Amino acid sequence: MPALTADQKMVLEMVRQVAREVLWPLAPEYDRSGAFPWPQLKKLGQLGLLGMTTPEAWGGAGLDSVTWALALEEIAAADPSVAVILSVTSGLPQYMLLRFGTEAQKRKYLTPLARGEWIGAFCLTEPHVGSDPASLKTRARRVPGGWRISGVKSWVTSGGEAQVYVVMARTEAGISSFIVEKTTPGLSFGPPEEKMGLHAAHTCEVRLEEVFVPEENLLGPEGRGLAQALAGLDSGRIGIAAQAVGIARAAFEIARQYADERTQFGQKIREFQGVGFKLAEMHAQIAAARALVLEAAAKKDRGERYTLEASTAKLFASEVAVGVTRAAVQVLGGYGYHRDYRVERYYRDAKITEIYEGTSEIQKLIIARELYR
């Protein structure tokens, strides 16, 4: 853990307070109901936490990526569903608009996103296109004044709730990125998917039927959409890795407390080597995962290439999240299987971190490629 500045400590203390007072109490209710957590997001937006790394000139807080990653960990420890919504809207649409958008696009779309007035969504995956985005079938054809887009996107986080969608579609020049507003005619949404975890973070199909997008809503040069999406995913993977660390840490803290309170055979169960060693391993894995996340975030802050570090952090942290939450359930025994103790939810929520924004297998391919650059 690097030494934090006074400003970083102040931000993180504010995040911990809102996580403890607003997110933690509501998380079980929203997991059971599956309601989208707009009240929590509005509170985070009021505090400037939905646009943490966007510069102040565009409505954000202008914070560094290290602070963003640590804040996401705190939010994920309280409610992983809120964390992934925050990670996606700030790590993908805002990042791509900031890096590739025109001044007019930033004024119109980035500013309300960074202020927390809107949230954004990222539309790359399709029903038959997941790990191979170069094969996407959604098409955009030129028409007078702009483009007409047709296709289906799947597994879109915040689909149907977000106000702004960054959509990748195939054009004559290759894959291009477009900014699509929720109210655009021809844009519709499937029902929220019934998922194993992250119930409050709605995920659905986004359907585009001859959706008209004006010329000024092409994001960056035509044909550069795949490169832009991959750059966005590098950024987003730091957020997902931080989310994974937060999930693991929260489950570990519950298990640690339980092991200190539960007595069997006349002693606390933490005194049994089988439990004590398990807790030690969990702690070491979480610390290592956090270090990898912060290394990637620091490289991003320095303006250096960080693809290798982001994929390494995402691969390791997501596997740690699954392993630690599974171990936490085991430490609690039967109570670990009960909703009142929350670790069963963290176990369910952890699994997706090995899948979205690039599966663990894809991260290994990226890492292997980057080692020989």
What is the number of H-type helices and E-type strands within the chain?
13, 10
Q: CB under 8 Å to 325, separation ≥6 — which residues?
A: 247, 248, 251, 343, 346, 347, 349, 350
Q: Give the whole-angstrom CA distance, residue 140 versus residue 338.
A: 49
Non-local (6+) Cβ contacts of 296 within 8 A are: 69, 237, 238, 241, 306, 309, 310, 312, 313
Distance of CA 254 to the CA centre of its chain: 23
CA atoms within 13 A on the CB side of 144: 0
Q: Which residues contact 298 (CB under 8 A, 6 or more apart)?
A: 2, 65, 66
User: How far, in Å, CA of 54 to CA of 243, rounded?
Assistant: 19
Among 80, 98, 102, which Cα is nearest to 90's? Answer: 98
Separation CA 290–CA 40 (nearest Å): 25
Nearest residue to 245 (alpha-carbon basis) of 309, 319, 161: 319
Dihedral pair phi/psi, residue 34, rounded to 5°: 75, 15
Give yes or no: 357 in active site: yes
Where are the alpha helices (H) located in the chain, listed in sequence order? 6-18, 24-33, 38-46, 65-78, 80-89, 95-100, 103-105, 111-114, 225-261, 273-301, 307-332, 343-350, 360-370
Which residue is associated with the tokens 């069997």?
264
- Contact at 8 Å (CB) between 175 and 223? yes
Task: Give the CB-side neighbour count of residue 56, counting CA atoms within 13 A.
Answer: 3
Please tell me which residue in 281, 354, 357, 361 is annotated as part of the active site: 357
Catalytic residues: 357
